[in-house]
Amino acid sequence: MGVLVCFHDRCFDGIGSAAVFTRFYRQCVDPKADFRYHGLVHRAGQLFDEGLFDDQENAIVDFKYSSSERLTWWFDHHQSAFLSEADAEHFRHDRSGKKFYGPDYRSCTKFIVETCQRKFGFEAPELDELVYWADLIDGAQYPDTRTAVEMHEPATQLTLVIEGTSDPQFSVRLIPKLMSMSLQQIMDIPEVRQTFDRLYALHLKTIDIIRSRAELKDGVVFLDVADQDFEGFNKFIPYYLFPGAVYSVALSRSATRFKIGVGSNPWNATPKTANLASICERYGGGGHAKVAAISLPPTDCARARKVADEIASHLRCGLA
């Protein structure tokens, strides 16, 4: 049996979801299945290419729903899981017993494990470390900003590598390792350690850039780094530098998109009433209530800055 697993790429939870789904499938469905993996990223325009689902079994984990009749398994936990109401309706009418939605879960990795335990009797205690850290990282449950930003734990170090590597096949190679090795063992692999060391040096430079660019005003820290040579960065840096921030709005750019990242500070006790996913959905984005994002075409600089400004102003008004 050939199985294609499409997963949220450059994301600890997305890769963890692919690993636990693979273990579940081999343990509870077909131990001889042959797996292929395909990373998905949010972008402006169509998310699913024609002909993507070309295997006997096709799965999506930790990513938006597809109404393709060739999709056989689906797990996601994002509020903005459906590209359209038609997709949501298609999911509601599905009777396969293989498509699951858990918006109350902090991580898709834990959602898959617990759903498969209930539905199929799946047990894999050797994956407990992976599940624990996926839930902590995707749910922003770090005890403090230092843990999130200074990266002393193997899981946080691996997250930096996942999000920052330029190797397009790194995630695909990592998935089998997550099923058989501890996070420390993975970080001890010379290739992974060397990549981390290089990216951590850039991470420290990024902290300095954000310190010089970010502005905290009325509880919202805003930063525009669209002219810098990076798209992704540790989303907790603004709260590390500006603990008084309640929300953050960050504009960055890559070759494929402008990204507007919108987040809330989990260490600031100020009540957070804004649903960030709902705000981003107005502009074609989405995510979770506490962290969300928007992707716009890489040529649409004026609109990207306008949208980022509008969101920052909206959040400031809500805190006034």
Domain carrying residue 83: 2-141
Residue type, 104: D
Q: How would residue 50 be classed by pLDDT, with cut points 50, 70 and 90?
A: low
Average pLDDT over residues 172-196: 98
- CA–CA separation, 54 and 73 (whole Å): 14
> Of 141, 168, 187, which residue is a domain's last?
141
- pLDDT reading at 45 higher than 60: no
Judge if 135 and 219 occupy the same domain: no
**Residue percentage of the chain with pLDDT more than 90:** 90
Q: How would residue 154 be classed by pLDDT, with cut points 50, 70 and 90?
A: very high
Q: Which pLDDT score, from 0 to 100, does residue 3 have?
A: 98
Let me know if residue 240 belongs to a domain: yes
- What is the 3 state secondary structure string of the chain? CEEEEEEECCCHHHHHHHHHHHHHHHHHCCCCCEEEEEEECCCCCCCCCCCCCCCCEEEEECCCCCCCCCCCEEEECCCCCCCCHHHHHHHHCCCCCCEEECCCCCCHHHHHHHHHHHHHCCCCHHHHHHHHHHHHHHCCCCCCHHHHHHCCCHHHHHHHHHHHCCCCCHHHHHHHHHHHCCHHHHHCCHHHHHHHHHHHHHHHHHHHHHHHHCEEECCEEEEECCCCCCCCCCCCHHHHHCCCCCEEEEEEECCCCEEEEEEECCCCCCCCCCCHHHHHHCCCCEECCCEEEEEECCCCHHHHHHHHHHHHHHHHHHHC
How much is the pTM? 0.89
- pLDDT reading at 232 higher than 80: no
Q: Which pLDDT score, from 0 to 100, does residue 320 have?
A: 62
Average pLDDT over residues 9-25: 97
Length of the chain: 320
> Of 117, 141, 165, which residue is a domain's last?
141
Cβ proximity of 151 and 240 under 8 Å: no
Q: Which pLDDT score, from 0 to 100, does residue 41 have?
A: 87
Q: How would residue 46 be classed by pLDDT, with cut points 50, 70 and 90?
A: low
Cβ proximity of 61 and 6 under 8 Å: yes
What's the burial of 71, exposed, middle or buried (CB within 10 Å: 0-12/13-18/19+)?
A: buried
Judge if 28 and 136 occupy the same domain: yes
**Residue percentage of the chain with pLDDT more than 70:** 98
Q: How would residue 254 be classed by pLDDT, with cut points 50, 70 and 90?
A: confident
Q: Which pLDDT score, from 0 to 100, does residue 48 have?
A: 73
Let me know if residue 35 belongs to a domain: yes
Let me know if residue 176 belongs to a domain: no
Residue entry with tokens 């008004």: 317
Q: Which pLDDT score, from 0 to 100, does residue 237 have?
A: 97
**CATH assignment at residue 42:** 3.90.1640.10
Give the tens place of pLDDT for each residue, 85-136. 999 999 999 999 999 999 999 999 999 999 999 999 999 999 999 999 999 9
- pLDDT reading at 231 higher than 80: no
Q: Which pLDDT score, from 0 to 100, does residue 49 have?
A: 75
Average pLDDT, the chain: 94
Q: 95 is written with which tokens?
A: 């009777």
Give the tens place of pLDDT for each residue, 203-224. 999 999 999 999 999 999 999 9
- pLDDT reading at 233 higher than 90: no
Let me know if residue 73 belongs to a domain: yes
- CA–CA separation, 202 and 36 (whole Å): 32
Q: Which pLDDT score, from 0 to 100, does residue 89 have?
A: 97
The domain total for the chain is: 2
